[in-house]
Amino acid sequence: MIKTGTILGDRYEILEKIGTGGMAEVFKGKDHKLNRYVAVKVLKEEFRDNDGFVKKFKEEAQAAAGLAHPNIVNVYDVGDENGIYYIVMELVEGITLKNYIERKGRLTIKEATSIAIQVSAGLEVAHNNHIVHRDIKPQNIIISREGKVKVTDFGIAKATTSQTTTSSAMGSVHYASPEQARGGYVDHRSDIYSLGIVMYEMVTGRVPFDGETAVTVAVKHLQEQMVPPSKYCPEIPYSLEQIIKKCTEKSPDRRYQDIGDLMADLKQSLVDPDGDFVQMVDLDEQAKTVIMTKGTTSKVKESRRVNLSKDEDEDEDDEEEDEDSEDDEDDEELSPTVERAMTIAGVVLAVIIVIIMLLLFSKVLGIGKKSNTDTSDSQQTEQSADEEDDSSSASQGNTVNMPSLLGKTYAEARTVLEELGLKIERGESEKSNQYSAGQIIAQSEESGNSVKVGTTVTVTLAAAGSTASSDGTSSTGSTTSGTTTTTTNSKVTVPPVVGKDENAAKSAITAAGLTVGTVSEASSDTVESGLVISQSPSANSETESGGKVNIVLSSGPNKKKVTDVIGHESSRAQSELAGDGFKVEVKETYSNDMRAGLVVSTSPDRGTYVQPGSTVTITVSKGREQVTIPSVSVGMTYEEAVEALNDAGFKGTVKEATEYSASVGNGFVTRYSPSKTVDPDGTVTIYVSLGTQSTTE
């Protein structure tokens, strides 16, 4: 059993327990050789005789030992002594991301994005070293006192040299990928999924899937669609929401394929929050039918044999995994009969495709015309097929009226179509003298038509260099039967919104057929806080239908927002507030949640707008309120001393010890240790007299 004062490896002194997990305990220790504080992770006693747990513990050390990065908790040493298996790691003084989220409710967009970027940077190093973490969750992400983000606990991490690795252990179910939930193949994209869930929780304050049991949650990961984070966090930028959606796609092929690409998009979102730069993957485009030849199947078989052989070499000590690998190899062997069948099927399919293409060409060229009777029969057949399609459409789902997308940006159009249950895809861009670059100039489904829910609408965007013409018309450049298609621009008048509150201004803008652009704030000595100071474009000017109107709201007379410093060190908080032009006063209070030295609250509250030079009072934690040790009365028994401790509010551990005393009679209390104050859950030793020590000459 590990106790305070235990020395491991003749250098690491155990000082105190700082945490516990499923298979290990973590202690604060001191490396006397290098004179530094460390974290010592020790395998729990009940698992030390279990070869499987010991192996997993050593694998964690091996996985993390070679990962040196500022965003990964560094492993210094690993060893075992008298059956005690331990890992010596960097000691990070701070708080877990889970506790940080619980404390703040939800994080700011900038803060959440910054944390996600740092986690991505750490995972990039792991992935580049063929290490999949497989248990990314807020509990395994530490924020240091300096604000540095560290990824820790590679407890179920696995090294791999192939594209995939079989997961025998599932991470925390609220953050587990669908492939983990079903016990399938797991690779680096599972970490990306888990990080997406973490980002969701940071910006919304909740996990997307929850339930009473782990099985319930796992099923939701597999089957249910995630509620968009914007429902719980309306202010989330479009780009960040798309990043989270791409990370948490059910299919790994639709997620980010590389953590570096995710990190690049996160950085871009800070620069262009409303940008439409996240490339979502459409599996319909990827899922093309490919005819496999005999040579192709042979290559696939050989590739599978190589990968399976590698997996067997890595897991040769795990009998169950070896058996699974052998079963998989047997299942994936293709018999000659199956190969011949696949080849024949491919040839037949190719012939059918050729025949269909010939028939289509003959129809276009007018070859092989039949009699009027045949034509009539064909028309009847087509009419019957159309009726069947209409019937099928009516039975399968609803139809919606196609809106006009002309003049809208791709992002605006996507929002409109998604609300109607329609899909969108980009077509080729074309020059336009009617619309500005990036605006939609044509759509595959005409506005006003009834279209089936789920239909994909192809839009044509104005190419770079496009400018609106003075007469409000533009030729799309496309012709049908020698006729040029011309579209008339629709102009609307911008309503006046200066002096209105935010909600009234937004309602007036949308009612005029326009969209709300950026909403910013600025100080004003004349306009009441919360009312519109200015707008762009100006009131009563003309602009394209669907265009953006930007508004600036008053924050009152030159007021500044109180910075969120809750959870910061007192000195750091004072520096930040003073830098914003505030005077700072400090109060102290006891706190059961915040360690000593951290800011518990501010007055005025964080986010409040106040005059520069105003006083902001920060309340700093003194830690948990200490219990005052009662005095020892003459003639007090051990039981009476314990009762006095309880009456004082002590709820910790009481130990009894004895000592000789010349002044206190046998069986009576001599003193407490400690003698002044103690943590409510700490340990107090009560010393009882043995009487006067006898001496022998």
Q: Which SS3 state, helix, strand or coil, does residue 254 take?
A: helix
- DSSP E strand boundaries for 420-522: 423-426, 440-443, 450-452, 456-461, 473-480, 483-488, 491-493, 515-522
Cβ neighbours of residue 197 under 8 Å, at least 6 residues apart?
A: 174, 175, 207, 208, 248
Element of type H or E holding 428: none
CA atoms of 272 and 263, how far apart (whole Å): 14
For 616, phi and psi rounded to 5 degrees?
-110, 120
CA atoms of 119 and 73, how far apart (whole Å): 11
Integer-rounded Cα Rg, in Å, for the chain is 35
| SS3 per residue for 577-630 | HHHCCCEEEEEEECCCCCCCCEEEEEECCCCCEECCCCEEEEEEECCCCCEECC
Q: Which of 10, 51, 77, 135 is catalytic?
A: 135
Strand partners, 144: 94
CA atoms of 86 and 39, how far apart (whole Å): 10
Question: What is the token pair recorded at 658?
Answer: 């004895």
Q: Which SS3 state, helix, strand or coil, does residue 317 take?
A: coil
- DSSP E strand boundaries for 61-188: 75-81, 84-90, 94-96, 131-132, 141-144, 149-151, 158-159, 165-166, 185-186
CA atoms of 299 and 113, how far apart (whole Å): 43
CA atoms of 510 and 512, how far apart (whole Å): 5
With contact defined as beta carbons under 8 Å apart, do 415 and 440 qualify?
no
With contact defined as beta carbons under 8 Å apart, do 241 and 228 qualify?
yes
Q: Which alpha helices (H) appear in 315-335, and where do they start and end?
A: 319-332
Is there a catalytic annotation at residue 187? no
Cβ neighbour number for residue 157 with a 10 Å cutoff: 22
With contact defined as beta carbons under 8 Å apart, do 409 and 439 qualify?
yes
Q: Using N-to-C axis directions, what is the helix angle for 259-271 and 238-247, rounded to 10°?
A: 170
Pairing relationship of beta strands 131-132 and 84-90 according to DSSP bridges: unpaired
CA atoms of 410 and 403, how far apart (whole Å): 14
Cβ neighbour number for residue 16 with a 10 Å cutoff: 8
Cβ neighbours of residue 312 under 8 Å, at least 6 residues apart?
A: 322, 325, 326
As annotated, the active-site residues are 135
